[in-house]
Amino acid sequence: MVEFSSKIAGRDIIASGSIVSGSGDDTLYFKIANLELRIIFEATEDKKSEVVAEIADDTSLLLRLKNFTNSLGTYWSAEIGTIQNRRLHIALAIYMASSEKPVRSINYTLSLGEAVDGK
């Protein structure tokens, strides 16, 4: 067996991939160790792109991605928690192919950074 690992900005990549959503699918679910991550795509009248995070409890995070509708792509990244005493980062690049019932290509990378003291 061949060992393989990858890093970005000094962080260990733990998952990376691409998801193509079906027409009108607006919710993604990820389970990373003990963390449950739900991503919901929303359209608002003001058309402003933003991410709103809601913490349900110590192991559940909801990210509302508002107006990620650009066919040329919308990028967002952030630190979203800790896993195994290390900082968890997510990077998303999202491309939308249709507007009435959107079809999206969602590219994601999850990575672990430096250790967090006292957690």
Q: Are 97 and 105 in contact (CB under 8 A)?
A: yes
Domain with 21 in it: 7-115
**Percent of the chain's residues with pLDDT above 70:** 97
Is residue 42 included in any domain, yes or no?
A: yes
Is residue 98 included in any domain, yes or no?
A: yes
pLDDT of residue 35: 92
Is residue 31 included in any domain, yes or no?
A: yes
The length of the chain in residues reads 119
Across residues 25-49, what is the average pLDDT? 93
Across residues 23-44, what is the average pLDDT? 92
Is residue 1 included in any domain, yes or no?
A: no
Across residues 53-82, what is the average pLDDT? 93
Is residue 62 included in any domain, yes or no?
A: yes
Q: What is the pTM of this model?
A: 0.89
Q: Report pLDDT digits (tens) over 79-113.
A: 999 999 999 999 999 999 876 788 999 999 999 99
Q: In the Cβ-directed half-sphere of 88, how many Cα atoms lie within 13 Å?
A: 19
Counted domains in the chain: 1
Maximal CA-CA distance, the chain: 52
